[in-house]
C-alpha cells in the first residue's frame, strides 16, 4: 500500500480500528487497554496481509494465528484478555516490528493513535455518532 496515495483511506482505517477497539467496552477501559486493542487490530491486519488471509477480519486473523501456533480452541482464544492475547502473540509481535515493509505504516498508525486520543481533535468512542464525535 502506498501511504501517500491512500492517506485518506489509511486514516479511515485507523479510525475504524480505534472504534473497533472500543466495541467490547461500555465505558472507557483506560488508555492502556485502548492502545493495546488498537495495536492488536493492526497486528491482525499485518497477519492478514502477510499470510494472504484476505477474507477475514484482523481480529479473526489474531484468533486464527493463536489457534495455529498454540493449538488452542477458538473459545479459549476468545476468553483471553487483550493483555493475555498480546503476550501469547509475542512471536508475531517480533516479526511485525521487524518487517521493513510495515515500518512506515506502523509509525503512521502510532501517530494516528495520538490524534485519535487527543481530547480536542480525537474521537470519543462512547458518544453517539455526531459531528462532535468525529475527527475532522
> Are the C-beta atoms of residues 104 and 3 closer than 8 Å to each other?
yes
pTM, 2 dp: 0.84
133 vs 124: which has the higher pLDDT: 124
Contacts of 134 (CB under 8 A, 6+ apart): 123
pLDDT tens by residue, 55-99: 999 999 999 999 999 999 999 999 999 999 999 999 999 999 999
Q: Which string of b and e fits 122-133 if b means at least 16 CB within 10 Å?
A: bbebeeeeeeee
Q: How far is CA 5 from CA 32, 41, 71, 95, 112, in A?
A: 31, 22, 39, 26, 17
pLDDT tens by residue, 96-128: 999 998 988 889 899 988 888 877 666 666 554
Confidence check: pLDDT of 38 > 70: yes
Amino acid at each position: 500500500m502506498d501511504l501517500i496515495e491512500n492517506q485518506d483511506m489509511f486514516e479511515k482505517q485507523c479510525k475504524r480500528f480505534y472504534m473497533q477497539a472500543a466495541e467490547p467496552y461500555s465505558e472507557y477501559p483506560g488508555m492502556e487497554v485502548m492502545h493495546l486493542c488498537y495495536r492488536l487490530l493492526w497486528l491482525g491486519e499485518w497477519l492478514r496481509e502477510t499470510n494472504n488471509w484476505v477474507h477475514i477480519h484482523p481480529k479473526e486473523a489474531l484468533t486464527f494465528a493463536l489457534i495455529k501456533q498454540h493449538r488452542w480452541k477458538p473459545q479459549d482464544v476468545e476468553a483471553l484478555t487483550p493483555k493475555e492475547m498480546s503476550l501469547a502473540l509475542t512471536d508475531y509481535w517480533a516479526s511485525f516490528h521487524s518487517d521493513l515493509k510495515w515500518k512506515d505504516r506502523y509509525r503512521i498508525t502510532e501517530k494516528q493513535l495520538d490524534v485519535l486520543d487527543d481530547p480536542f481533535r480525537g474521537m470519543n468512542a462512547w458518544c453517539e455518532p455526531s459531528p462532535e464525535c468525529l475527527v475532522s
